C-alpha cells in the first residue's frame, strides 16, 4: 500500500470571516476524495482555533500558537480578510499579519510555503471608530503587499468556496506529479473501456429523469417529483436562424440535427424562457450516454464560469472531475487521446446566466476558439436570445427552438393525464376555444403549468397571461402544503412562506446568485422564522422542497427548479417596491423577464402607465415588450408617447427596437405587438414621413402580414382603395402631363461590355408588357400628394418634381395605383422597347446627334426643363421610338431596384428585379447638367434612397392587368 504524502495548509484569519473558515473543511474533504486522492496526497488543514491549546509564553498568545502552526514547515499559508485586521501580536499589527510575514520570510529562504491571500469585497457597514480603524488597517496592508505577489478578491462565502476549490485544485495539479502507485490494469485498453462504459452508465442514470412542474402533487407519496425523461421530454423542433430577407427555413427534428455524424459539429441553441433548452440538453446527454458508441457527454451549467480564473478547457476538466467517481475514470477521460476529441460532446447550458460580466462578453469568441482548436469535439451551447448578438457564433450552426405544434401539445397532454380521455378532450376543447391560452401552451414550461392548473380547477382556472398563470400555479402548490383555509396559524405559515420566497428571490437576484445557502435564508428571513411558525430554516426549506416542488437541492444550498419561477417570485417582490426601483434595473438584460412579469402582475392601470413611461426613456424596446404582458390596451399606453416623437430618426429607432423585440417574445405575440404599435404610429398618429412608413412596411412584411392588401396598414394609410380614382383624375387633366405609354414585352440585350465594370456583362433579358408614363411626375401632380416633403421654386407646374428621395417616389407611384419601373424595364424602354438596338443611345452611337434628343451639358442652368418643352434643334419634344419624353437627360429617374455592382453576373433572364437587399438604389438617365456618357442607355448610377437632389426625379410604371 502506497503511503500518501501530506500537504499541510495553515489557515490564517481574523474573527470576521468564520463562514469562510468553515467552508474550508468541506473543500478539503472534497479534494481529498478527488484530485488529491488521484495524486496520492492528503490535504491537512491547520488553524489556531482548532489546533492550538492553552498555554503561556513570554511573547504572548502568538508565542504559544507559532510552534503549533509551524508556518516555516507548511506547504500553503492561506489567509482571509474582510473588515477586521486583528489584534497586535509579536511586533505585527495582528496575528494574521505576523503569520503572513513569517511565511514570506520562509519562502524567501526555502521557496515555500505557497502564500494565498483572499480579500472579501461584500458590503461593509462600518459604524464605530474601531471598525473604521480595523478596515483602514486591512486596506493599508492590502496596498503594501500588492507589489509582492498576487492576491484574490471574492464577493461572498459561495464565491470564496468556488475560488479556493479551483485554486487548490490547480496547485495540486501543478505541484504534485502523479506517482506509479500500486500496480493496476488502468493502462490496458480493456480496463479503460470498462471504466468508460461504467462512466456512461452513471451519466445515463444521472440524466434519466427531469423535474416536471407540479408532478409531485400528482403522484403517490414518496415517489418524488422527477419523472422519466422519455416520458416528460417533449420532442422539440428547431430551425436555422432566419437571416434578413432570407426565406423561412424548414423545422428540423432533433434526431436529424444532433445525431448526424456529418458536419457541422458545433451548435448554438437560442430559445425563449421556458422553451425547453435545459431539458433538451439533458435529454441529449442521456441519449448520447445511452447510444451504443463511445460518446462522452459533458453537461455544464455556465453560471459560475469565470474566464479570468481559467480557460474553457479548465472548466471542462473541472466538470469531468465532478462527474467522475474515481481517479482512474478522471484520468481516462482527460487522456489526450480522448479529451475534447471526437467522442466528447460538450453541452454548455445557460450562456445567459453567467455571473461574471467580462466572461459573458468574451464567451462567444472563446467558444469559437475552442471549436477551432478541437474540431472533432461536438459543442452544443444554449442561451436565451437576450444574450446572443447577431454576429456571435458565426462558425456554429445557429438554431432557434421552435414553439410546440398542436400535435406536440396533444401528445404532451396525453402523457400528463395518463390516458384520461375525458380530461384530454376537455383541455383540447379549452385550447381550441381560447386562442390566447393555446398560444401560451406552445411553450413547454407554460404547458406544464396549464396542464397542472387545468387538473386542479378545470377550464375556469386557466388564465391568459403568463404572470397570472405563474401566480395561480404557485398558489395551488403552496396552499396544498399550508392549507391557509384550515386555521389562522396555517394562514400565517402560508403568508410567511410567500414573503420569504419573495425576499430570498429578490435579494439573490440582485446578487446574481441562484443558489441560496440555508444560513443566508436564516439571516434574510429571521423575523418570520423566529415566530416559530415555520421551524428552523433548513427544516423549512426541506419541507418546501418535499411538499411543493418549487425548489430543489443544489450544490450550495437550494435553488428554484426553473429560472422562470425565480424570476416570477422576484417580480412578485417588486410589487412592494416603487416603479423607480424597477426602472433602475431595466437597462440590465438579466432583468428582462422580471420586469415583464412584474408588469403583468400590476393591477393598477396607472402604475402600468407609469412603468411604460419610465421604460420609454431608458429601454424603449423593453417598454414595447411590456405591452404584451398587461391588460391595459397598447393604444392607451403608447399613443401619448409615440405622438411626442419628433423627426424621423427617433421613429426609425422605434421601428428598429420593435424588430429587435421579435426574437425576445413568443411567436404568437409578434404580429400583435407589431400591428398594434405600427397602427398607432402610422394611422392614429398620422405618420407622413415616407422613409419611416417604408421601414414599417418592411417589418410588417417580415412577420408575414400583407400591409399593401385590403385591411393592411399601408393600404389604409394611403387609402389605396381609391388609388384608381386618383389616377383617373390625374389622367383627365392635361395640365398634369400624365399619360401612359403601352410597352409590349420582349427580349433585349441589357448592359454594355465596352464601358464600366458594373455594366458588364451584356446579357439577354426578357420583360413582360407593362405601362410607362410618358413624362416624369410633374410638380403639379406631386402637389396633390399629402406625404413627404416637397421641393418648391424649381420651375413651374410642368417641370419635373425633383428633390424627392426614393421613398417618396415609391409611395407616390403606389398612391396613384402604379409603381416605380425596374431597372430592366427602364433600360428596355430607354432603348426603344421591342425594336431595341445594341447601341449607346436609342438612336445609335453618334454622340454628336444627342443634342437633338436630350437636354444635357447645361451646367450653368439652375433647374430642369419643362417635361413637354420643345427642342429648338428639332422643333418637337425629345421622344424616343416608344413615345417616351426625355427618357435620356433632363432629370435622373429612380428605379425600384437595389443597386448591385456585380448583379449582372448572375441576374435572372426573366423580369429581373435587382438584388434582394442593399444600401443604395438605382438611378438612370442622366440630368440636364451632365455630360453625354452619363446619358447612355446602359449607364447605371447608385444613390442612397434617403438622399435628395435637384437633378433627380422619377416616372411611374404600371402592370398590365
Residues 15 and 118: their CA atoms lie apart, in Å, by: 14
pLDDT (mean) for 152-171: 87
Segments making up each domain of the chain, as ranges: 5-175, 197-402, 404-454, 465-573, 602-717, 722-959
Place of cell 437550494: 558
CATH dotted code for 722-959: 3.90.1580.10
Q: Is the bond preceding residue 761 a cis peptide, omega within 30 degrees?
A: yes
Residues 574 and 585: their CA atoms lie apart, in Å, by: 11
Q: Residue 181 above 50 pLDDT?
A: no
Nearest Cα to Cα of residue 730 among 835, 812, 644, 620: 812
Number of Cβ within 10 Å of residue 480's Cβ equals: 12
pLDDT (mean) for 631-660: 93
The whole-number pLDDT of residue 220 equals 39
The whole-number pLDDT of residue 80 equals 96
Q: Residue 526 above 60 pLDDT?
A: no
Q: pLDDT by residue (tens digit) across 777-789?
A: 999 999 999 998 8
Band of pLDDT at residue 50, cut at 50, 70 and 90:
confident
Per the DSSP assignment, residues forming a β-bridge with 226 are 211
CATH class of 5-175: alpha beta
The whole-number pLDDT of residue 291 equals 76
Return the beta strands (E) in 245-341 as ranges. 252-253, 266-270, 296-301
Band of pLDDT at residue 937, cut at 50, 70 and 90:
very high
Band of pLDDT at residue 309, cut at 50, 70 and 90:
confident
Q: Residue 230 above 80 pLDDT?
A: no
b/e sequence 690-707, b meaning 16+ C-beta within 10 Å: bbbbbbbbebbeeeebeb
Q: DSSP assignment, residue 682? A: I
Query: Is domain 197-402 in CATH 3.40.50.300, yes or no?
Result: yes
For residue 598, count CB atoms less than 10 angstroms from its CB and return exposed for 0-12, middle for 13-18, buried for 19 or more: buried
The whole-number pLDDT of residue 98 equals 92
Q: Residue 531 above 80 pLDDT?
A: no
Q: Residue 189 above 70 pLDDT?
A: no
Grid coordinates representing 720 are 389605396
Band of pLDDT at residue 182, cut at 50, 70 and 90:
very low
| Helix locations, 301-356, DSSP H | 312-323, 327-334
The helix/strand/coil state of 773 is strand
In terms of phi and psi (left: phi > 0; alpha: psi -120 to 50; beta: otherwise), the region of 214 is left
pLDDT (mean) for 466-489: 77
Residues 824 and 821: their CA atoms lie apart, in Å, by: 8
The whole-number pLDDT of residue 244 equals 52
Q: pLDDT by residue (tens digit) across 869-921?
A: 999 999 999 999 999 999 999 999 999 999 999 999 999 999 999 999 999 99
Query: Phi and psi of 527, rounded to 5°?
Result: -65, -45
Q: DSSP labels for 821-856?
A: PPHHHHHHHHTTGGG--SSSBTTBS-GGGGGGT-B-
Q: What CA–CA distances, in Å, run from 593 to 273, 349, 590? A: 8, 18, 8
Given a contact cutoff of 8 angstroms between Cβ atoms, the answer to whether 14 and 6 are in contact is no
Residues 726 and 526: their CA atoms lie apart, in Å, by: 76
Residues 201 and 753: their CA atoms lie apart, in Å, by: 69
The whole-number pLDDT of residue 668 equals 79
- 504's CB contacts (< 8 A; 6+ apart) are 516, 520, 521, 524, 525, 569
To the nearest whole number, what is the mean pLDDT of the chain? Answer: 87
Place of cell 417580415: 702
pLDDT (mean) for 360-381: 89
**Global pTM?**
0.71
Band of pLDDT at residue 213, cut at 50, 70 and 90:
low
Residues 799 and 736: their CA atoms lie apart, in Å, by: 10
Most confident of 306-320, 606-620, 778-792: 606-620
Least confident of 236-250, 440-454, 467-481, 570-584: 236-250
Given a contact cutoff of 8 angstroms between Cβ atoms, the answer to whether 525 and 495 are in contact is no
Per the DSSP assignment, residues forming a β-bridge with 269 are 382, 399
- 496's CB contacts (< 8 A; 6+ apart) are 528, 531, 533, 534
Residues 575 and 579: their CA atoms lie apart, in Å, by: 9
pLDDT (mean) for 528-542: 62
Amino acid at each position: 500500500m502506497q503511503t500518501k504524502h501530506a500537504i499541510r495548509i495553515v489557515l490564517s484569519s481574523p474573527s470576521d470571516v468564520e463562514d469562510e473558515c468553515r467552508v474550508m473543511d468541506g473543500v478539503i474533504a472534497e479534494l481529498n476524495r478527488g484530485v488529491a486522492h488521484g495524486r496520492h496526497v492528503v490535504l491537512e488543514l491547520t488553524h489556531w482555533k482548532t489546533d492550538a491549546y492553552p498555554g503561556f509564553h513570554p511573547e504572548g498568545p502568538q508565542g504559544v500558537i507559532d510552534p503549533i502552526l509551524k508556518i516555516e514547515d507548511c506547504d500553503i499559508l492561506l489567509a482571509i480578510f474582510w473588515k477586521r485586521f486583528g489584534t497586535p501580536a509579536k511586533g505585527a499589527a495582528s496575528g494574521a499579519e505576523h503569520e503572513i510575514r513569517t511565511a514570506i520570510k520562509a519562502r524567501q529562504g526555502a521557496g515555500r510555503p505557497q502564500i494565498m491571500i483572499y480579500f472579501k469585497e461584500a458590503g461593509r457597514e462600518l459604524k464605530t471608530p474601531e471598525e473604521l480603524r480595523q478596515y483602514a488597517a486591512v486596506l493599508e496592508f492590502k496596498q503594501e503587499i500588492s507589489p509582492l505577489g498576487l492576491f484574490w478578491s471574492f464577493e461572498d462565502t459561495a464565491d470564496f468556496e468556488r475560488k479556493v476549490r479551483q485554486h487548490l485544485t490547480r496547485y495540486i495539479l501543478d505541484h504534485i506529479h502523479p506517482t506509479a502507485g500500486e500496480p493496476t490494469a488502468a493502462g490496458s485498453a480493456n480496463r479503460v473501456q470498462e471504466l468508460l462504459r461504467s462512466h456512461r452508465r452513471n451519466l445515463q442514470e444521472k440524466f434519466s429523469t427531469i423535474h416536471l412542474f407540479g408532478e409531485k402533487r400528482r403522484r403517490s407519496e414518496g415517489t418524488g417529483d422527477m419523472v422519466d425523461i422519455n416520458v416528460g421530454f417533449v420532442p422539440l423542433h428547431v430551425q436555422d436562424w432566419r437571416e434578413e430577407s432570407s426565406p423561412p427555413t424548414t423545422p428540423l427534428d432533433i434526431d436529424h440535427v444532433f445525431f448526424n455524424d456529418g458536419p457541422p459539429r458545433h451548435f448554438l441553441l437560442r430559445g425563449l424562457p421556458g422553451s425547453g433548452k435545459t431539458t433538451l440538453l439533458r435529454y441529449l446527454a442521456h441519449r448520447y450516454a445511452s447510444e451504443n458508441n463511445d460518446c462522452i457527454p459533458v453537461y455544464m451549467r455556465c453560471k459560475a464560469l469565470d474566464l479570468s480564473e481559467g480557460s474553457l478547457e479548465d472548466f471542462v476538466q473541472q466538470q469531468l472531475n465532478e462527474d467522475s467517481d474515481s481517479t482512474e475514470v478522471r484520468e481516462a477521460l482527460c487522456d489526450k487521446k480522448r479529451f475534447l476529441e471526437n467522442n466528447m460532446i460538450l453541452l454548455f447550458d445557460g450562456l445567459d446566466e453567467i455571473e461574471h460580466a467580462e466572461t459573458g462578453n468574451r464567451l462567444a469568441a472563446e467558444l469559437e476558439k475552442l471549436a477551432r482548436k478541437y474540431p472533432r469535439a461536438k459543442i452544443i451551447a444554449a442561451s436565451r436570445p437576450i444574450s446572443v448578438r447577431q454576429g456571435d457564433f458565426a462558425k456554429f450552426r445557429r438554431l432557434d427552438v421552435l414553439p410546440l405544434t398542436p400535435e406536440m401539445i396533444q401528445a404532451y397532454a396525453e402523457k400528463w393525464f395518463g390516458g384520461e380521455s375525458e380530461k384530454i378532450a376537455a383541455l383540447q376543447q379549452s385550447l381550441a376555444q381560447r386562442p390566447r391560452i393555446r398560444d401560451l401552451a406552445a411553450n413547454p414550461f407554460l404547458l406544464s403549468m396549464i396542464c397542472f392548473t387545468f387538473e386542479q380547477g378545470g377550464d375556469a382556472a386557466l388564465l391568459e397571461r403568463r404572470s397570472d398563470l405563474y401566480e395561480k400555479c404557485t398558489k395551488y402548490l403552496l396552499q396544498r402544503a399550508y392549507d391557509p383555509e384550515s386555521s389562522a396559524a396555517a394562514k400565517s405559515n402560508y403568508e410567511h412562506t410567500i414573503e420569504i420566497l419573495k425576499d430570498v428571490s429578490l435579494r439573490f437576484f440582485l446578487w446574481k446568485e441562484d443558489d441560496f445557502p440555508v444560513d443566508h435564508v436564516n439571516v434574510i428571513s429571521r423575523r418570520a422564522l423566529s415566530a416559530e411558525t415555520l421551524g428552523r430554516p433548513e427544516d423549512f426549506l426541506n419541507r418546501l422542497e418535499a411538499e411543493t416542488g418549487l425548489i430543489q437541492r443544489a450544490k450550495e444550498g437550494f435553488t428554484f427548479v426553473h429560472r422562470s419561477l425565480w424570476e416570477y417570485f422576484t417580480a412578485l417582490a417588486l410589487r412592494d417596491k416603487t416603479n423607480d426601483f424597477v426602472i433602475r434595473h431595466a437597462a440590465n438584460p438579466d432583468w428582462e423577464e422580471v420586469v415583464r412579469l412584474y408588469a403583468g402582475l400590476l393591477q393598477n392601470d396607472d402604475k402600468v402607465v407609469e412603468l411604460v413611461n419610465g421604460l420609454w426613456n431608458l429601454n424603449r424596446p423593453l417598454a414595447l415588450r411590456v405591452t404584451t404582458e398587461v391588460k391595459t390596451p397598447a393604444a392607451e399606453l403608447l399613443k401619448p408617447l409615440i405622438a411626442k416623437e419628433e423627426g424621423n430618426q427617433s421613429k426609425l429607432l422605434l421601428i428598429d427596437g420593435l424588430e429587435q423585440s421579435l426574437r425576445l417574445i413568443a411567436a404568437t405575440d409578434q404580429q400583435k405587438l407589431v400591428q398594434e404599435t405600427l397602427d398607432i404610429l402610422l394611422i392614429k398618429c398620422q405618420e407622413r414621413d415616407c422613409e419611416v412608413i417604408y421601414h414599417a412596411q418592411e417589418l410588417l412584411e417580415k412577420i408575414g402580414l400583407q400591409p399593401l392588401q385590403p385591411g393592411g396598414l399601408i393600404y389604409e394609410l394611403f387609402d389605396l382603395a381609391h388609388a384608381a380614382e386618383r389616377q383617373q383624375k390625374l389622367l383627365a387633366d392635361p395640365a398634369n402631363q400624365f399619360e401612359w405609354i403601352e410597352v409590349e414585352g420582349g427580349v433585349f440585350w441589357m448592359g454594355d461590355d465596352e464601358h464600366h465594370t458594373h455594366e458588364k456583362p451584356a446579357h439577354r433579358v426578357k420583360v413582360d408588357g407593362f405601362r410607362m408614363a410618358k413624362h416624369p411626375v410633374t410638380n403639379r401632380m406631386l402637389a396633390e400628394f399629402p406625404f413627404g416633403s416637397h421641393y418648391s421654386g424649381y420651375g413651374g407646374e410642368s417641370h419635373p418634381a425633383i428633390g424627392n428621395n426614393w421613398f417618396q417616389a415609391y409611395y407616390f407611384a403606389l398612391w396613384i395605383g402604379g409603381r416605380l419601373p425596374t431597372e430592366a424595364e427602364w433600360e428596355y424602354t430607354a432603348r426603344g422597347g421591342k425594336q431595341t438596338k445594341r447601341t449607346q443611345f436609342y438612336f445609335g452611337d453618334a454622340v454628336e446627334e444627342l443634342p437633338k434628343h436630350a437636354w444635357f451639358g447645361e451646367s450653368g442652368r439652375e433647374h430642369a426643363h419643362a417635361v413637354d418643352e420643345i427642342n429648338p434643334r428639332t422643333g418637337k419634344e425629345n421622344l424616343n421610338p416608344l413615345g417616351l419624353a426625355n427618357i435620356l437627360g433632363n432629370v435622373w429617374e429612380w428605379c425600384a431596384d437595389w443597386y448591385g455592382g456585380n448583379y449582372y453576373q448572375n441576374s435572372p433572364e426573366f423580369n429581373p428585379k435587382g438584388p434582394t437587399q442593399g444600401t443604395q438604389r438605382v438611378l438612370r438617365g442622366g440630368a440636364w447638367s451632365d455630360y453625354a456618357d452619363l446619358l447612355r442607355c446602359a449607364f447605371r448610377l447608385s444613390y442612397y434612397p434617403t438622399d435628395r437632389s435637384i437633378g433627380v426625379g422619377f416616372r411611374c410604371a404600371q402592370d398590365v392587368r
